[in-house]
Amino acid sequence: MTKPPIPVIAIDGPSASGKGTVAKLVAQRLGFHFLDSGALYRAVTLAALKAGVGLDDEAALARVAAALDISFDGDAIHMNQELVTDAIRSERISASTSEVAAMPAVRQALLKRQRAFRQPPGLVADGRDMGAVVFPDAVLKIYLTADVAERTRRRYKQLIEKGMDANMATLLQDIRQRDERDSARATAPLQMSNDASLLDTTKLSIAAAVEQVLARYAAAKQVP
Ligand code: DC
């Protein structure tokens, strides 16, 4: 008998939808591993800026992606032994990352690294193309979203809580621009695939969203 594949729950959706928080909590509840694929793309951008690599140099960026020395330890993210958890979340990095992530060679260079997170007993993967490209055989594919005003409010709160500077109008504009760029790009654009299940969290608490994902996973597991 062949062994059943290691289960993957793919959670995709736009910026600041809360999917990272929801995905992490679902992983904790199930005792699964967690992949924050956006953090990989963000780290490539930060590493490139530090190395003086131009953000329009696709081949050089792909080399940075392939050589990325990154480790995840709970919420802490280290790059070349340096703690970069907050540095990769600045608005500067957020804006540049959506350009870097649009490059096919960069996406290709990160593919194997993302798939390596698939370890027993299972994985919750958070991103834009987890269900469509990286884990097409995921047992459950969630497209998690919220309306843009609510997402802006959430991102604002997150930044202020971290003691970072934030302006609602600028954030709204940035999030719209990023949505546009992430959805319009030619390679692995952000879009809800036919086999994904929509979860709109505009009016849902984080706890309620987590329960929804767990219930859908329990139902998906029953289907042979
Ligand atoms: O999820 P996030 O905000 O940390 O993602 C940062 C950027 O990386 C965002 O512009 C979308 C992009 N991204 C991507 O293209 N593919 C992924 N799987 C994850 C993130």
Q: How many domains does the chain have?
A: 1
CB 134 within 8 A of CB 11: no
Q: Is residue 133 part of a domain?
A: yes
Q: Is residue 3 part of a domain?
A: no
- The answer, yes or no, to whether any atom of ligand 1 lies below 6 A from the CB of 64, is no
Q: Report whether pLDDT(217) > 70.
A: yes
Instruction: Evaluate: CB of 97 within 6 angstroms of ligand 1.
Output: yes
Give the phi and the psi of residue 189 in degrees, each rounded to 5.
-65, 155
Tokens of residue 220, six digits: 């998906």
Query: pLDDT confidence of 224, banded at 50, 70, 90?
Result: low
Closest residue CA from atom 5 of ligand 1: 38
Please give the residue range of the domain that contains residue 12: 8-218
Calculate how far, in angstroms, residue 178's C-alpha sits from the geometric centre of ligand 1.
9
pTM over 0.85: yes
Cα–Cα distance, 196 to 155 (Å, whole number): 25
Structural domain contains residue 136: yes
Is 223 a member of any domain?
A: no
Examine residue 19 and state whether it is found in any structural domain, yes or no.
yes
Residue showing tokens 């919420």 = 75
CA–CA distances in Å: residue 45 to residues 17, 58, 71, 114, 118: 21, 12, 16, 17, 24
CATH code of residue 147: 3.40.50.300
Report pLDDT for 151: 94
